[in-house]
Amino acid sequence: MIRLFAAIAIPEDIGGALLVRQKGVENARWRPVEALHVTLRFFGDLREDVARDLDTELSAVGGRPFPIVLEGVGAFGEGADIHAIWAGVQESPELRHLARTCETAARRAGLKPEGRHYRPHVTLAYTRRPNPDEVAGWIQANNLLKSPPIWVDRFSLYSSHQTKEGSAYRLEAEYPLG
C-alpha cells in the first residue's frame, strides 16, 4: 500500500516568505518549506496496481498553465480542537478545474468520490490542543498575507510517509500542463 495525493508544490521563494511567519503558536508543528503544497486530491492508501492506474489517468490530465495567489490565513477547527493553521488560495477557476480533473482521474482509476468540499490551502502547521488566543493572535497578525502570483505549469503525485516529525512527502511523478 502507498499513501498518495496530487498537489502543486509551493516554490522555495514563496515558501521562504511563509517560513518567517511560522512563530507565535506554542506547540505548533510548523511545516518545512519542502512540505508546503496546495493539495488537489488526497487519494489515500492504495494498492500498487491501483496506484499505477491512477498514474496513467493523471498523465492524461490536460490544461494550460495558470497563476495562483496565496491570500489570507486561517485555521481548521475551533477552540482546543484547532488542528491546522493554513494560508488560503485566492479563488481560481483554473485551480478548481484542475482539482476536478484529478477527481475524475481518481474515479476512472476506481477510487471512491471525495466526499469533502474542496477548499484550496497550504497547511503551515499542525496543532494539538493549541491556545485558541495564540492562534487567533497569529491569524490577526498574518491575515493580510498575499503572495506574488505563483505560475502553475505542472502538478505532482506525492507519497506520504509518517515520521517522528510528522508526514514526509516524496515526489512520485510530475505532470506538465500546456
Instruction: Supply the pLDDT for residue 84.
Output: 97
**Residues 90-118 pLDDT 10s:** 999 999 999 999 999 999 999 999 999 99
Q: Active site includes 161?
A: no
| pLDDT, tens digit (0-9, with 9 covering 90-100), for 10-53 | 999 999 999 999 999 998 999 999 999 999 999 999 999 999 99
Give CA 115 to chain center in angstroms.
17
CB 82 within 8 A of CB 132: yes
Q: Is 37 a catalytic residue?
A: yes
In the block, which residue shows the cell 481548521? Answer: 76
pLDDT for position 163: 82
21 sits in the region (left: phi over 0; alpha: psi -120 to 50; else beta) called alpha
Distances 3 to 73, 95, 98, 159, 161 between C-alpha atoms, Å? 27, 23, 20, 5, 7
Cα angle: 62, vertex 42, 61; to 5 degrees: 10
Beta strands per DSSP E along 2-120: 2-9, 29-30, 37-46, 66-68, 70-76, 84-89
Question: Among the options 97, 117, 121, 161, which is catalytic?
Answer: 121
Distance CA 41, CA 92 (A): 16
Q: What is the CATH number of domain 2-176?
A: 3.90.1140.10
Q: Among residues 37, 97, 117, 161, which one is catalytic?
A: 37
